[in-house]
Amino acid sequence: MSDNTLILNGQTVADYMREETGAKVKELKEQGIQPCLATILVGDDPSSATYVRMKGNACARIGVESIKVVLPAETTTEELIQEINKLNQDPSVHGILLQHPVPHHIDERACFDTISIEKDVDGVTTLGYALNAFGEADYPSCTPQAIIRILDFYNISMEGKHAVVIGRSPILGKPVSAMLLNRNATVTTCHSRTVNIEAIVKQADIVVAAVGKPNFVQGDWIKPGAVVVDAGYNKGNIGDVDYDACLPHSSAITPVPGGVGPVTIATLIEHTVKSAYKSLLKQEQ
């Protein structure tokens, strides 16, 4: 199978998206609107700091402004809510991203839910999550949307396929399961209490790994010809899928890095620009 395995190149998808988004940024600027994403980083987790920096760099490349709010690890829930409210009220900010995870003492759900739905460009609010489940979100959670975007870009149909998602986090596993279901896949969502995960993955036409464990998905778990999407990103640029072992069994596979990651960032920027567009339409009304 490996000679024929299609590598699902996220960079290619992201480049394509960037062209479309770049044209919209130009149009908005001509109308006097500067799209702007605010990212909030609480504490000094080095991976989170890297993600925020990567998002800032990607914004700069396309002409989207980015504001970085950095808060100390001791920040309280109330203080963080205040910061989010300031950004909610700032008309020059079109998207707000609170980098997950926040320190344990902070009520992350309360903070996510403070983000106004118009600026919830990563679909983290309870309302955004629910709208996504109904297939009606303006801004679905970025990584799940990136996964669907990659499948669409490479014309991989989801309809009628058995999709097995490993992971059920509210930002990834659950929303991508809902999105696959909305695209008429038959979906099984696995988690840490799932019994005999290997046997379930072996039935999958589409495998989505969102576990947070390096090389978790083994080559002999993959049904010949299955499509493998690795959303994982672990220390040392290692995915949740043992890429070399899974590649020979799969018909298509995402690499790490260069798979889901770049498309997630391109999606975040696309959402921010869409939100800026909506603010322009509001002004014109």
Give me the active site residues, please.
Answer: 55, 99, 122
209 to 248: interface string for ligand NAP, x by CB under 6 A: -xxxx-----------------xxxx-----x--------
Q: Return the percent helix, strand and coil in the chain, to nearest 5.
A: 45, 15, 35
* Separation CA 158–CA 198 (nearest Å): 21
Contact between 132 and ligand NAP by CB under 6 A: the answer reads no
Question: Which residues are annotated as part of the binding site for NADP(+)?
Answer: 167-169
Q: Is 197 in the site for ligand NAP (CB under 6 A)?
A: yes
Q: Nearest 5°: CA angle at 199, between 198 and 203?
A: 110
Structure tokens at 238: 């290692």
Tell which residue, 282, 269, 277, has the closest CA to residue 31: 277
Report in angstroms how near the CB of residue 137 gets to ligand NAP at its nearest. Answer: 17
- By CB under 6 A, tell whether 171 contacts ligand NAP: yes
Q: Is 176 in the site for ligand NAP (CB under 6 A)?
A: no
Handedness of CA 111, 117, 120, 125 (dihedral sign): positive
Kindly write out the interface string for residues 53-72 of this chain, putting x where it contacts ligand NAP by CB under 6 A and - elsewhere.
Answer: --------------------
Span 177-196, contacts to ligand NAP by CB under 6 A = 190-194
Q: Is 124 among the residues that bind ligand NAP (CB under 6 A)?
A: no
Residue in 180, 214, 256 with CA at minimum distance from that of residue 10: 256
Classify strands 226-230 and 250-253 as parallel, antiparallel or unpaired. Answer: parallel
Residues that bind ligand NAP (CB under 6 A): 143, 166-169, 171-173, 190-194, 197, 210-213, 231-234, 240, 260-261, 264
